[in-house]
């Protein structure tokens, strides 16, 4: 793909960090696609050198409107991300999409039909798409995904969409690192699937019923609205009234309304000052996750010998796992 740059049109003004003397970061800040991709690969690996680079990069993020998109597999998230991106691009804003999703059509390994459907945004220099490979160490994946979102932000993309299946605490944490959380419900899902989602329904700032071209979509919207009314889902403290928006990405219906609702929510956060509380929550989660990564790296790599000795002692019943953990963390 041709080298292209993007320019932020965002209006929020964070304090300007000092210019970087890291050539890769300078190019990322200029929005050069190849450098953005290279930095994302670095974000996916761990290690102290990369951590220092990510730390510097992080100081340049904070302008983008980050939108989380979650919902069970097959609920229509990727299709919706694409439709949203097209609509947002019409307003001149640029979009980054990061997906934790092995089966995502963003991965490039998707079936032909998906490739064709994605083609309309993949050639657009104002759009950057990155799929995160699911790997063993989920904690690391969550951190890397948020770093990748930050890189898009630092590179000047105005809106960053994070797509993730909302199963597992890490994935829920990732999507909650967004300013605006969208929970996608497809019509006709059974109770079983709804139960899996129970914890996820309440993190929504916006509920979306996807595939509204299907006859059972109306009932799904009615169910969600009644759950919201009864207060069985929905977050307590905000003055934001969680809306239910029906969309058909296939027929391009409701997408305008959804973009409008996302923008309204963004303004609501700034106008009410709720954005501050949200930023604190996001930072708390990220600091804790970064600390977990550091500790895991220390004890599994550098402290390996000490860990092995403690396992030996535990096996010989000379120490219990709790005291072993305390010993392990001591000066590790
Ligand atoms: N009828 C209809 N089908 C849709 C619509 N949007 C998506 N689909 C179909 O639903 C299926 C899943 O769509 P995806 O966008 O891949 O869903 P996803 O949530 O990203 O799926 P995973 O990434 O596997 O979790 C595909 O076969 C789509 O063609 C829609 O608006 N209407
Ligand atoms: Mg997907």
Q: Does ligand 1 have an atom closer than 6 angstroms to the CB of 131?
A: no
How many angstroms separate the CA atoms of 234 and 38, rounded?
Answer: 39
Q: Does ligand 1 have an atom closer than 6 angstroms to the CB of 234?
A: no
Q: Does ligand 1 have an atom closer than 6 angstroms to the CB of 165?
A: yes
Instruction: Provide the pLDDT confidence category of residue 109 given band limits of 50, 70 and 90.
Output: very low
Cα(249) to ligand 1 centroid in Å equals 9
Kindly provide the residue ranges of all beta strands, DSSP E only, lying in the chain, ordered along the sequence: 65-70, 95-100, 127-132, 159-164, 180-185, 206-209, 244-246
Q: Which ligand sits nearest to residue 98's alpha carbon?
A: 2
Q: How far is CA 250 from CA 42, 79, 80, 117, 213, in A?
A: 36, 8, 9, 10, 8
Cα(90) to ligand 1 centroid in Å equals 23
Query: Domain-by-domain residue ranges, the chain?
Result: 23-269, 287-329
Cα(101) to ligand 2 centroid in Å equals 6
Q: Name the residue at shortest CA distance from atom 1 of ligand 1.
A: 211
**Residue 82 reports pLDDT greater than 80:** yes
Does domain 23-269 correspond to CATH entry 3.40.50.300? yes
**Residue 311 reports pLDDT greater than 50:** yes
Q: Which atom of ligand 1 lies at the shortest distance from residue 248's CA?
A: 31
Q: Name the residue at shortest CA distance from atom 7 of ligand 1.
A: 76
Cα(276) to ligand 2 centroid in Å equals 30
Cα(160) to ligand 2 centroid in Å equals 16
Helices and strands in the chain, H and E counts: 13, 7
Edge to edge, the sheet with strand 159-164 lists 127-132, 95-100, 159-164, 65-70, 180-185, 206-209, 244-246
Q: Which atom of ligand 1 lies at the shortest distance from residue 104's CA?
A: 23
The tokens for 196 are 């899996």
- 156 sits in the region (left: phi over 0; alpha: psi -120 to 50; else beta) called left
Reported as type and span, the H/E element at residue 221 is helix 217-229
Q: Does ligand 1 have an atom closer than 6 angstroms to the CB of 73?
A: yes
pLDDT in tens, 278-296: 999 999 999 988 888 888 8
User: Which is it for strands 159-164 and 180-185: parallel, antiparallel or unpaired?
Assistant: unpaired
Contact 94, 120 (CB under 8 A): no
Which pLDDT belongs to residue 140?
A: 76
Q: When comparing pLDDT for 112 and 213, which is higher?
A: 213
Q: Name the residue at shortest CA distance from atom 32 of ligand 1.
A: 211
pLDDT in tens, 217-246: 998 898 888 888 877 666 566 789 999 999
Which pLDDT belongs to residue 196?
A: 55
Contact 173, 281 (CB under 8 A): no
**Class of residue 145 by CB neighbours under 10 A (exposed 0-12, middle 13-18, buried 19+):** buried
* Predicted TM-score (pTM) of this structure: 0.86
pLDDT in tens, 254-273: 999 999 999 999 999 999 99
**Residue 27 reports pLDDT greater than 70:** yes
Mean pLDDT score across all residues of the chain? 83
Q: Name the residue at shortest CA distance from atom 10 of ligand 1.
A: 76
**Residue 320 reports pLDDT greater than 90:** yes
Q: Does ligand 1 have an atom closer than 6 angstroms to the CB of 214?
A: yes
Q: Which ligand sits nearest to residue 74's alpha carbon?
A: 1
Q: DSSP labels for 62-81? A: --SEEEEEE-STTSSHHHHH
Best-predicted range by mean pLDDT (7-21, 42-56, 142-156):
142-156
Which pLDDT belongs to residue 182?
A: 95
Which pLDDT belongs to residue 201?
A: 80
Q: Name the residue at shortest CA distance from atom 8 of ligand 1.
A: 76
**Residue 107 reports pLDDT greater than 60:** no
């Amino acid at each position: 793909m041709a080298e292209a740059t993007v320019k932020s049109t965002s209006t929020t003004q964070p304090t300007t960090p000092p210019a970087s003397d890291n050539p890769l970061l300078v190019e990322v800040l200029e929005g050069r696609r190849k450098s953005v991709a290279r930095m994302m690969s670095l974000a996916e690996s761990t290690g102290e050198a990369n951590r220092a680079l990510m730390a510097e990069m992080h100081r340049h993020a904070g302008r983008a409107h980050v939108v989380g998109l979650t919902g069970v597999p097959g609920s229509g998230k990727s299709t919706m991300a694409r439709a949203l991106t097209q609509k947002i691009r019409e307003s001149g804003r640029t979009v980054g999409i990061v997906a934790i999703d092995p089966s995502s059509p963003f991965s490039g390994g998707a079936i032909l039909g998906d490739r064709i459907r994605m083609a309309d945004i993949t050639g657009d220099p104002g759009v950057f798409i990155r799929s995160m490979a699911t790997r063993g160490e989920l904690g690391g994946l969550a951190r890397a995904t948020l770093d990748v979102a930050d890189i898009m932000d630092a590179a000047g993309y105005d809106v960053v969409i994070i797509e993730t299946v909302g199963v597992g605490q890490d994935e829920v944490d990732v999507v909650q690192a967004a300013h605006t959380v969208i929970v996608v419900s497809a019509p006709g899902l059974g109770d079983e699937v709804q139960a899996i989602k129970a914890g996820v329904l309440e993190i929504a700032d916006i509920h979306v019923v996807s595939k509204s071209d299907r006859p059972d979509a109306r009932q799904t919207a009615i169910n969600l609205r009644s759950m919201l009314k009864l207060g069985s889902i929905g977050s307590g403290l905000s003055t934001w009234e969680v809306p239910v928006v029906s969309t058909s990405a296939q027929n391009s219906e409701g997408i305008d309304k959804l973009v409008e609702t996302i923008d309204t929510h963004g303004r609501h956060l700034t106008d009410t000052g709720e954005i501050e509380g949200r930023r604190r929550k996001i930072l708390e989660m990220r600091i804790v996750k970064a600390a977990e990564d550091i500790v895991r790296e220390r004890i599994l790599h550098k402290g390996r010998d000490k860990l092995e000795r403690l396992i030996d002692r535990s096996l010989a019943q000379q120490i219990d796992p709790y005291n072993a953990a305390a010993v392990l963390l001591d000066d590790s």
